[in-house]
């Protein structure tokens, strides 16, 4: 399992794609710093920066880049065959990939969110955002890992989920919020550090249970899909 994780991590950081992870966190922290430097009241910039940019864009997009990068890119270029032709339980392969994806996304998203939370309100709020981001990173990673196995266009599907389902429908159709990881993150962070800045639309039990369902369900289904992974008959 460690070898799969090692190759996955090398693959992730060896591609130029990893540079995509930099601008969003920098933008997030930069915006917060500018607002702080000009003494703008956190009541004005807190919500748009933390929720509008941090939780609605930075966390899911980073998870998408990483989550589809750990498996989807190997499926794309065919190198996955080298890992699949080993007598490893498919569970170990998925868990190793998920570990790398969730770990990298969690660190990349939680650190800037912590900084922004601390600047906007308090260290406690920063920690709450970081905890929420870690939970969200795990759920998002499981979802996007699964998408890389069920579709040839995981990035497109993932973007549709983030932009259309969570971003657009979540605003107008209240029912879709129950299946929105962003809402779970908001609820969890708000429960740990109530500030008035976050406005959770789902209850705390729903948020926790659904996060676990996304993480576990995505993982189990992905293991099953990898077990019957087919290589399309390419005859040149």
- Our CB check for other proteins shows the closer of 48 and 89 to be 89
- Our CB check for other proteins shows the closer of 150 and 229 to be 229
- Our CB check for other proteins shows the closer of 11 and 60 to be 11
* DSSP secondary structure string for all residues of the chain: -HHHHHHHHHHHHHSGGGGGGTHHHHHHHHHHHHHHHTT--HHHHHHIIIIIIIIIIIHHHHHHHHHHHHHHHHHHHSTHHHHHTSS--HHHHHHHHHHHHHHHHHHHHHHHHHHHHHHHT-HHHHHHHHHHHHHHHHHHHHHHHHHHHH-S-HHHHHHHIIIIIIIIIHHH-GGGGGG-HHHHHHHHHHHHS--SS---SS-HHHHHHHHHHHHHHHHHHHHHHHHT--------
What minimum distance in Å lies between the beta carbon of 101 and other proteins? 17
What minimum distance in Å lies between the beta carbon of 145 and other proteins? 19
- Our CB check for other proteins shows the closer of 119 and 149 to be 149
- Our CB check for other proteins shows the closer of 205 and 233 to be 233
Q: How far apart are CA 115 and CA 32, in angstroms?
A: 9
- Our CB check for other proteins shows the closer of 41 and 85 to be 85
What minimum distance in Å lies between the beta carbon of 226 and other proteins? 10
What minimum distance in Å lies between the beta carbon of 201 and other proteins? 41
What minimum distance in Å lies between the beta carbon of 109 and other proteins? 25
What minimum distance in Å lies between the beta carbon of 220 and other proteins? 16
Binding region for other proteins (CB under 8 A): 3-4, 6-7, 10-11, 14, 77-79, 81-90, 227-231, 233-236
Q: How far apart are CA 1 and CA 98, in angstroms?
A: 11
């Amino acid at each position: 399992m460690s070898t799969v994780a090692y190759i996955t991590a090398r693959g992730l950081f060896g591609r130029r794609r990893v540079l995509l992870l930099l601008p969003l966190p920098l933008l997030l922290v930069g915006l917060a710093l500018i607002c702080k430097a000009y003494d703008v009241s956190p009541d004005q910039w807190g919500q748009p920066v933390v929720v509008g940019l941090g939780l609605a864009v930075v966390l899911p997009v980073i998870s998408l880049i990483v989550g589809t990068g750990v498996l989807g890119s190997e499926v794309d270029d065919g190198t996955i065959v080298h890992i699949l032709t080993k007598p490893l339980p498919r569970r170990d392969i998925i868990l190793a990939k998920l570990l790398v994806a969730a770990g990298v996304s969690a660190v990349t998203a939680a650190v800037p969110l912590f900084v922004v939370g601390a600047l906007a309100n308090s260290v406690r709020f920063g920690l709450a955002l970081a905890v929420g981001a870690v939970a969200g990173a795990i759920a998002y990673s499981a979802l996007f890992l699964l998408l890389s196995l069920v579709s040839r266009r995981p990035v497109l599907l993932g973007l549709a989920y983030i932009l259309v389902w969570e971003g657009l429908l979540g605003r107008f159709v209240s029912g879709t919020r129950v299946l929105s990881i962003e809402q779970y993150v908001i609820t969890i962070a708000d429960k740990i550090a109530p500030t008035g800045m976050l406005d959770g639309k789902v209850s705390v039990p729903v948020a926790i249970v659904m996060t676990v369902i996304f993480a576990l369900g995505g993982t189990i289904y992905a293991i099953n899909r990898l077990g019957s992974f087919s290589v399309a008959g390419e005859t040149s």
